[in-house]
Amino acid sequence: AANYYLVGVPAQAGRLHWVPWDHSQALAVMRDWTTQEGPPHYDPAYVRHDQIGASWPLVRKLLDDPVSRTIYFQELKFALGGAYALELVTKRVEALHALIAPHVDGPLGEVAPYSALLWAGKRMPLPGPEELLAHVPQMHALVHQVVD
């Protein structure tokens, strides 16, 4: 499955733009690559995408190209001081959690069978932002380790 679209822009002589989607793993806590189990670990190989193989040919091709790889690392470094700056991410996570919480839990909350919070027939409460907020500085430090 591809988690991106390639879009040709006629006004730019058909230049292709890579439009990613499905960012559900972008801030995921990293665990064993094959089972997604075990304690979190922070390995620079995840930032470099060393584990990406032939099953993701476009990503592999881009990361193997020295120019594209350099741009990727420059953009990561830029994000650390911009959209992914610790203070901004913390405020945004807290604000978004406060925004959605009443619509997930409580009288306005999700109901079966239209809920991602059902597990083995049991309703799970909406997790707080604490795990993500503890994870973000770890990822920030890991990306710095790779790009600095």
CA dihedral for 27, 32, 36, 39, sign (positive or negative): negative
- Give CA separation, 29 vs 61, 73, 98, 122, in Å: 26, 21, 21, 24
Tally of residues, the chain: 148
pLDDT per residue of the chain (148 residues) written in tens, 0 to 9: 567 788 898 999 989 887 876 665 666 666 665 666 667 778 888 888 888 888 888 888 888 999 999 999 999 999 999 988 999 999 999 999 999 888 887 677 777 666 666 666 666 777 788 888 888 898 899 999 999 8
- Residue 25 carries which side chain, given as an amino acid letter? Q
Specify the DSSP element, H or E, that contains 19. Answer: strand 15-20
Which runs of consecutive H residues, i.e. helices, occur in the chain? 44-48, 57-64, 66-81, 86-104, 130-147
The whole-model pTM stands at: 0.70
Cα–Cα distance between 7 and 18 in angstroms, integer?
A: 7
Cα–Cα distance between 27 and 136 in angstroms, integer?
A: 8
Gyration radius from the chain CA atoms = 19
